Amino acid sequence: MSRREEKRAEQADRLAELQAREELGALRAGAGAARPVEPGRGEGPGEDGGGRSRRGRKGRNESGSRPRGLFVPPRGWYGPGGGRVGYLDPPTMWRATTVQACGMWPFAAGSGSPMTGVPLGQHLFTGATVCGDPLNWFTRARYISNPSLFMLGMPGLGKSTLVNRMLIGLSATGVVPLVLGDLKPDYADTVRALGGQVISIGRGRGGINVLDPGAMGAAAARIGGEAGEVLKAETHGRVLNMVAALITIVRGRPMDDHEQSVLSAVLHHLRERSPQGRTVLLPDVLRVLAEGPDRVRAVTLDRGDDARYRDAVDPLHRSLLGILDGPLGDTFASETSTRIDPAAPAVCIDISGIGEADTQLTAAAMLAAWSDGLGTVAASHALADAGLEPRRWFFTVLDELWRPLRAASGIVDRIDALTRLNRSLGLGDAKITHTLKDAEALGTDADRAKARGFVERAGMVVCAGLPKAEMEDLGKVVGLSRREIELVSSWSSPPGWGVSGEHEEPPGRGRFLIKVGGRPGIPIKVAITDAERRLHDTNTRWTPNEKTVERAVEQELAHTAAQVARAAREGAYALPTGPEGPAAGGDAGRWTS
C-alpha cells in the first residue's frame, strides 16, 4: 500500500469512528426517555405490557428502525488503549490446480513455481512450495534435456542436506539412490533408514575386486545367447577401463596404448583358463605376465625374443605391483567383501574410513565404486530389456567431486564419459563440489575445459552461498543476472556474533538458487524436519554423544569420591558429633574442619 492510499484509509477510519461515536451517544441519550405503557400489560423492567422487549422481537428501537451496529475500524480505535495496529496480517495463500480453482478467477494469481518432483522447500519471496529433481524434471515435466544436477556452494550451507531430501523423495517413487563413494559419511544413515545397503570400503574395512564382473557377469549368464555375449564383452571393457584407471592413479599419467592391449590379452587369457565360479584377482594378472603365454606375447611383438617381451611388459608389471604393495594397499587385491545387491532399494558405498590425506586411495576407491555401481545399473537395464526384470531408474550421487579430480589427470575423462551417457544409461546424477576453482586446479587445459563442461551440460544448476567473484565466474557459464549474483553472494556471509551464547546460523544456510537454462532462477528456503535432522548431521565429530557425556560424569563423580575418601582418611575433615551431630538433628550435610 502506498503512502497516499494509507492516508486515505486513515481518514476513512477516522470518519467512520466519529459517526459511530455520535450514534452511540444518541442511543445512550434516548435510553432513559419515558414511554407510555399499554393498559393491561405488565411493567416489568425492560419490558412492555406484554412482556416483550422494548426493542421488539426483531430488535427494533422506539422509532421502529433498526439501529446501526457499533463500527470498529479494521485497524482498531485511535488514541491510547484503542488497540490501533499499523500492520494487517496478509491473507492466507492457497495453491490449487486450474481445475480446482477455476471458479475463483480472477481472484487467483499464479506464482510460477514448479510443482513436479520432490518437495524441496518454499519460494523465498512468494512462500509458494517448490518441487523438483533431475529425474522428474526430465521425464515428467520436460523442463530439462539432461537428467543431471550440478551443485556448488561453500561448506556448511546444506548442500548434502538438499540432496538427502531428493534421495528420500525419489526412493518413495521407486527410484533407486546410489551413493557411490560417501566420504564423510553424509548419506549412510539415510540409506539405512530407507532399508538399503551400506558397504564400507577401506583398509581393514573391506575391499573391491576390480576384476570381478559383478552384477553384469551374473546378468550375462542369466540372459544367455547373443545378448549375453554382448553383455560379456561390455563387462570385459569395463574391467579393463577400471584397471587402467588404477594404473593411472599410481603413475600420475594415463597408460600407453600397447599396455592396454597387453592387459586386455591377459584378461582374456584368465577368463578362458579360470575354473567356473572362480573370480580372477590382480595377483593372477601378475602371474600371467611373469609366465608370458603365447597369446600375451603375440600382442607385444616380441618375435620369440624374451628380452623384447620383458621390455614391453615390465612397466605394466611394476605399476601393478605398485597397486598391490604401494599406497593402495590390499584394498583391491582380494575378493570383494560385499557385493552390491541389485534388488536393494538404495545403496551407499561408505569410504569415510579412508584418511583425508590419502588422496590416491580415495580416488581409487571412488572410481571402483562408480565402476561397480554403474555395472549394476547396466545389468539391471539388460535384464529389463530381456524381459526378466522390471525396469528400474537410478539416481547417483557424486559428492566432493574435487577430490577424485585432483588425484590424477586421467580421472576427468571417466567422469566426463559418465555425464555424457547418463540419458542412455537410464539414470540421473547429482555432482556436488564447492566452487568452479576446483576445476581450475587441474593439471592441463584439456582437463579444465572438460571439468567446466560438467556445469554446462547439467540440466539443473543449484547454487548455495558463494563469494561474489565466484558467482561472476559462474555467471559466464550459466547466465546469471546481477540481482541473482547479489542474492547468492549475500548468503556467503558468516553468522553474526552471538551475544546470548546460542548457536548463530549462517544467513545462507538452507537457501539455494535453482537455475535451468536461461530461465530466471528460483530462490528457495529449505526447512528440514526432525527426522531429517536426526539422519543427517555433518558435525557429528563436534557433538559429544550421550555415552561420552555419561562416561565423563561417572569419571568426575568417581574422582570426587576418591578425593573425599582420601581426605577423610588423612583426618583433614570430620563429621559433626555431639548434640549438634546428625543424631541430634544437626546439619549432616555440612563438613567442619
Confidence of residue 149 (pLDDT cuts 50, 70, 90): very high
422 pLDDT more than 80: no
Sequence-distant (6+) residues with CB within 8 A of 485 are: 468, 471, 472, 475
462 pLDDT more than 90: yes
Cα–Cα distance, 285 to 317 (Å, whole number)? 9
Task: Map residue 53 onto helix, strand or coil.
Answer: strand
Residue 308, all three cell numbers: 623384447
Mean pLDDT of the chain: 77
CA pseudo-torsion sign 102, 103, 105, 110:
negative
Tell me which residue of 219, 194, 190, 175 sits closest to 399, measured CA to CA.
190
Confidence of residue 591 (pLDDT cuts 50, 70, 90): very low
> First and final CA of the chain: distance in angstroms?
76
Return the C-alpha torsion angle 246, 250, 255, 261, nearest 10.
-50
CA pseudo-torsion sign 178, 203, 193, 463:
negative
Q: What is the tens place of the pLDDT at every residue in 44-100?
A: 444 444 444 444 444 444 444 444 455 666 667 666 776 766 666 666 767 777 677
Asked if residues 113 and 127 have their Cβ atoms less than 8 Å apart, the reply is no
Cα–Cα distance, 426 to 371 (Å, whole number)? 16
Task: Map residue 406 onto helix, strand or coil.
Answer: coil
Tell me which residue of 398, 412, 399 sits closest to 443, measured CA to CA.
412
Give me the DSSP letters along 496-514.
P--SSSPPPPPTTTTEEEE
Residue 392 or residue 579, greater confidence: 392
Q: 87-101, 416-430, 545-559: which has the minimum mean pLDDT?
A: 545-559
Q: What is the tens place of the pLDDT at every residue in 232-246?
A: 888 888 888 888 888
Question: What is this structure's pTM?
Answer: 0.70
452 pLDDT more than 70: yes
Q: 60-74, 96-110, 503-517, 562-576: which has the minimum mean pLDDT?
A: 60-74
Find the helix or strand (DSSP H, E) in which 432 lies: strand 427-433
Confidence of residue 410 (pLDDT cuts 50, 70, 90): low
Confidence of residue 106 (pLDDT cuts 50, 70, 90): low
Tell me which residue of 112, 114, 190 sits closest to 460, measured CA to CA.
114
- Alpha helices, DSSP H, located in 31-69: none
What is the percentage of the chain residues whose pLDDT exceeds 90?
Answer: 24
- Alpha helices, DSSP H, located in 224-358: 225-251, 257-273, 282-291, 294-300, 306-325
140 pLDDT more than 60: yes
Cα–Cα distance, 369 to 365 (Å, whole number)? 6
Q: What is the tens place of the pLDDT at every residue in 372-400?
A: 888 899 899 999 999 999 999 999 998 87
105 pLDDT more than 60: no
Asked if residues 181 and 353 have their Cβ atoms less than 8 Å apart, the reply is no
Cα–Cα distance, 448 to 30 (Å, whole number)? 91
Residue type, 56: G
The pLDDT of residue 592 is 33
439 pLDDT more than 60: yes
Q: What is the tens place of the pLDDT at every residue in 313-337?
A: 999 999 888 888 777 767 888 888 8
Find the helix or strand (DSSP H, E) in which 463 lies: strand 460-463
The predicted model gives 554-581 an average pLDDT of 58
The pLDDT of residue 72 is 64
548 pLDDT more than 60: no
The predicted model gives 153-181 an average pLDDT of 91
Q: What is the tens place of the pLDDT at every residue in 525-540?
A: 998 888 888 776 655 5
Tell me which residue of 305, 274, 304 sits closest to 288, measured CA to CA.
274
Cα–Cα distance, 310 to 375 (Å, whole number)? 34
Cα–Cα distance, 214 to 219 (Å, whole number)? 9
Residue 577, all three cell numbers: 558429633
177 pLDDT more than 90: yes
The pLDDT of residue 337 is 85
Q: What is the tens place of the pLDDT at every residue in 287-314?
A: 999 999 999 999 998 888 889 999 999 9
Sequence-distant (6+) residues with CB within 8 A of 536 are: 160, 161, 164, 186, 187, 189, 190, 528
Confidence of residue 581 (pLDDT cuts 50, 70, 90): very low
Q: What is the tens place of the pLDDT at every residue in 268-289?
A: 999 888 887 788 888 899 999 9
Residue type, 174: G
Residue 174, all three cell numbers: 521407486
The predicted model gives 482-487 an average pLDDT of 92
